[in-house]
Amino acid sequence: MFESLEIIILAAGKGSRMHSHLPKVLHRIGGKTLIQHVIQEAESLNPKQIHIVYGFGGDSVREATPGPYNWVRQEDLLGTGHAVMQALPFCSRDSKILILVSDIPLIRSETLKNLLNQTTDDGVGVLTAVVENPEGLGRIIRNEEGQITGIVEEKDTTFEEKLIREVNTGVIVASCQDLERLLKKVQNHNAQKEYYLTDVIGLAANEGIVIEGYCSQDSLECGGINNKIQLALAERYYQKRLIDGYMRDGLIVADPARVDVRGNLIFGENTFLDINVVVEGNVFLGNDVVVGAGCVLKDCTIKDGSVLSPYTVIEGSVIGENATLGPFARFRPGCELMENVHVGNFVEVKKSKLGKGTKSGHLSYLGDSDIGDNVNIGAGTITCNYDGANKWKTKIGNDVFVGSDTQLVAPVTVGDGVTIGAGTTVTKNIPEKQLVITRAPLKMISGWKRPEKGNKKN
């Protein structure tokens, strides 16, 4: 590894084939933008500085990518060679420069380290890949001795050169001084009328500089993103790589092709993910956790032994040990469930705390609530937390029984041991161990006839 390494990331292109108003580098794979993937691998190399050349999309790219980077604007998009020339004045002349491209987001730092280690201090390094279909990619030109003598872009290739399957990835390493000198000689006499960075390889070979080519062991990591099809293929490759790593570390996955992780997942032993699970943000799963089909987990913690039935959605919440949730339960941000809680189908919980052993089996809304231990919430119960202008809190003590179809109009407090009859509307605080019932008297009418079709009144 070189003592002084600086990295230039090229991120100025428009990406017209994406057919999007969004800059290409801000499209996402696994929940992170393309440029974030590249920066993450770049930072792991501990460079002296990272320079990012941006253009299309302007400040939107900078705003979406915070960090201590040197941002260099390419006003005129005149090619990759021109882009590097914009950044070189900010680099130390004694540094080695690693050039990365933001539309090849899944390149691994291990591959970059191998390229750097193989490149001599007075040489130039090129990362190559052998692909089945090289269409659209620059070809690596080698002489009879196998030495790299140049790179030819697809639009400038001859018929014979089109048959070459070793391609340029866009990743190049060279000394700052060599790059400065060689780029001054680059011309734009090509089909694109652009200044190609790849031309420095042929120029360096003509000067007798050794061109070190390191071929990636996995060509898929070098896949470029130029359209939505390639973006989707890269997503699948990324997910497979990620899930394979999780399974090697002990995660049980029903079908690796049907799980999406769009963030960071930490998990314990004997934890299981069924099909179509989506993980977003930062998610922690304890030991012996079962996540059913179709669950969506975002920025949450699920502790040991909890079971999530299918299609449960949890966001910004902490679920205690041995909870049973769902199916079709939803937890909005700010929920905290203690151990042995049960929340069943079609229950929505928002910014609420549920104590040990509390149960809400079905068809309820619990918002802005603080609910004690061993509480039973009957079907159809609603905490009426919003008065049209402000949110209010409902407090329920321990060992409370809430009958079905109850409305608790916040702000309201229910003491320990209270029993609330079905169909009750609670509008006042209730002391401990009371029975509360609010029902209209039952009325029966004898001899009443149900309306029948065809017997309309005139």
pLDDT value, residue 27:
95
- In terms of domains, do 291 and 189 share one? no
Q: Is residue 458 part of a domain?
A: no
Mean pLDDT score, 53-57:
88
Task: Kindly state whether residue 237 falls inside one of the protein's structural domains.
Answer: no
State the CATH number of the domain containing residue 349: 2.160.10.10
> How many domains is the chain partitioned into structurally?
2
What average pLDDT does range 288-305 have in this prediction?
98
Residues 364 and 422 in one domain: yes
Report, as an integer, the average pLDDT of 106-116: 96
Q: What is the pLDDT of residues 408-417, one digit of tens each?
A: 999 999 999 9
pLDDT, the chain, mean:
94
The answer to whether residue 231 sits within a structural domain is no
- What pLDDT shows up at residue 348? 98
Name the catalytic one among 27, 37, 82, 362. Answer: 362
In 120-179, which ranges are E strands?
A: 124-130, 139-142, 148-152, 166-175
Same domain, 139 and 208: yes
Which stretches of 131-246 are assigned E, i.e. beta strand?
139-142, 148-152, 166-175, 211-215
> Taking the model in full, what pTM does it have?
0.89
368 and 287 within one domain: yes
Is the same domain home to 308 and 400?
Answer: yes
pLDDT digit string, tens, across residues 214-272: 999 999 999 999 999 999 999 999 999 999 999 999 999 999 999 999 999 999 999 99
Please choose, from the candidates 308, 385, 377, the residue with its C-alpha nearest in 3D space to the C-alpha of residue 351: 385
- As a whole number, mean pLDDT of residues 325-350 equals 98
pLDDT at 76: 87
Decide if 363 is inside a domain. Answer: yes
Give the pLDDT mean for 421-450. Answer: 93
Whether omega for the bond prior to residue 333 falls within 30 degrees of 0, making it cis, is no
Q: Decide if pLDDT at 210 tops 80.
A: yes
At residue 440 the predicted structure's pLDDT band, cuts being 50, 70 and 90, is confident
Q: Which residue range forms the structural domain that includes residue 303?
A: 252-436
For 276-280, what is the mean pLDDT?
98
What pLDDT shows up at residue 287?
Answer: 98
pLDDT at 58 over 80: no
192 and 336 fall within a common domain: no
Residue 2 has pLDDT above 60, yes or no: no
Q: Are residues 211 and 259 in the same domain?
A: no
How large is the average pLDDT for residues 294-311? 98
Is there a domain that residue 444 lies in? no
Contact 2, 116 (CB under 8 A): yes
Distance CA 71, CA 381 (A): 55
pLDDT at 455 over 70: no
Let me know if residue 238 belongs to a domain.
no
- Nearest of 105, 121, 417 to residue 237 by alpha carbon: 105
pLDDT of res. 153: 87
Residue 445 lies in a domain: no
203 and 284 within one domain: no
User: Mean pLDDT, to the nearest integer, of 110-138?
Assistant: 93
The pLDDT assigned to 379 comes to 98
- Among residues 72, 348, 118, 107, which one has the least CA distance to residue 210? 118
Q: What is the pLDDT of residue 1?
A: 47
Query: Does residue 328 belong to any structural domain of this protein?
Result: yes
Torsion of CA 298, 339, 334, 315, to 10 degrees: 10
Which of 202, 222, 242 is a domain's end point? 222
Residues 69 and 208 in one domain: yes
Do 393 and 368 form a contact (C-beta atoms < 8 A)? yes
**Tell me, what CATH number does 70's domain have?**
3.90.550.10
Asked if 258 and 180 sit in the same domain, the reply is no
Please indicate, yes or no, whether residues 306 and 371 belong to a single structural domain of this protein.
Answer: yes
**Do 27 and 163 fall within a single domain?**
yes
Residue 458's pLDDT is what? 56
Cα dist from 178 to 72, 85, 216, whole Å: 20, 12, 24
Residue 439's pLDDT band (boundaries 50, 70, 90)? Answer: confident
Cα–Cα distance for residue pair 86/83, rounded to 1 Å: 5
The mean per-residue pLDDT over the stretch 119-139 comes to 92
Give the residue-averaged pLDDT of 67-95: 94
Q: What is the pLDDT of residues 158-202, one digit of tens each?
A: 999 999 999 999 999 999 999 999 999 999 887 778 898 989 999
Per-residue tokens: 408: 């608790």
**Buried b / exposed e along 419-456 (16+ C-beta atoms within 10 A):** bbbebbebeeebeeeeebeeeeeeeeeeeeeeeeeeee
Judged against a pLDDT cut of 90, whether residue 442 lies above it is answered with: no
342 is annotated as an active-site residue = no
